[in-house]
Structure 1
Amino acid sequence: MLIFKILRRAEWNALQAAGETAGAPIDLIDGYVHFSTAAQAAETAAKHFADQSDLVLLAIESDSLGDDLKWEPARAGALFPHLYRNLRMTDVLWDKALPLGASGHIFPEGHMFAGGKS
């Protein structure tokens, strides 16, 4: 299944330049890279990136991360995917801009992303 990471443009640029990242500041504090499922991504964007417009949505195939990916309870006890190693460029299937619209972030439409609002 696809899981998603939201990065600020500067964090995305750094990942592309270095080839891997330990994640955003919250990831560094917590010791793992936070991801969301398609159903969780819009709430993650609203909660952690409410006023930020220059974001990038990354898609990763969860099965490709192997045992380094753990599903752990977070918001309201829901299971969230957490990666206990650096996120590598080779893990990223695709990236899309995640612009901020009048009523929240605008997620990609169609088969590649089933969650969020458009």
Structure 2
Amino acid sequence: MDQTIYKIAPRPLWEAAKAKGRFDGAPVDEADGFIHFSSGGQVRETAARHFTGQDDLVLIAVDPDRLGDALRFETSRGGALFPHLYGPLPLDAVVWVEDLPLGVDGGHQFPGSVR
């Protein structure tokens, strides 16, 4: 696997994770027992479905090869396979973190590198 996966998170949650040295997920992740990720082809729909109108978000790009067996691709929305991490996200697996601002149309503005 060499395709980047993505996590959308509120900035304060990400800042707390950096201070802690790992990301344990958002409340929905903790409730579900795994950290939800999206592929490049899924992340825009994830933002539209679950983060509409929310600002002060970051987009976290992760190298799936650094996650080992704790990462599983499981059937979810519309029968698509989504990446789920069963355990904390180690910060050394993070490739980059970018702001995910709202545009004038109210949709999130993704970095050009997200595919």
TM class, shorter-chain normalised? over 0.9
2:25 is equivalent to residue 32 of structure 1? no
What's the offset of the Cα at 1:21?
A: 2.3
Structure 1 unaligned spans of 5+: none
Within 5 Å, give how 1:49-64 maps onto structure 2. Answer: 49-64=51-66
For 1:108, what is the secondary structure of its paired residue? coil
What's the offset of the Cα at 1:89?
A: 1.3
What's the offset of the Cα at 1:30?
A: 0.2
Structure 1 length-normalised TM? 0.91
- The whole-number CA distance in structure 2 between the counterparts of 1:9 and 1:64 is 23
For 1:101, what is the secondary structure of its paired residue? coil
The aligned length equals 112
The answer to whether the Cα contact below 8 Å between 1:57 and 1:98 also exists between their aligned partners in 2 is yes
Structure 2 unaligned spans of 5+: none
Identity %: 50
From 5, 16, 36, the counterpart of 1:14:
16
- The whole-number CA distance in structure 2 between the counterparts of 1:61 and 1:106 is 21
CA-based RMSD: 0.9
- The whole-number CA distance in structure 2 between the counterparts of 1:2 and 1:21 is 17
- The whole-number CA distance in structure 1 between the counterparts of 2:32 and 2:74 is 13
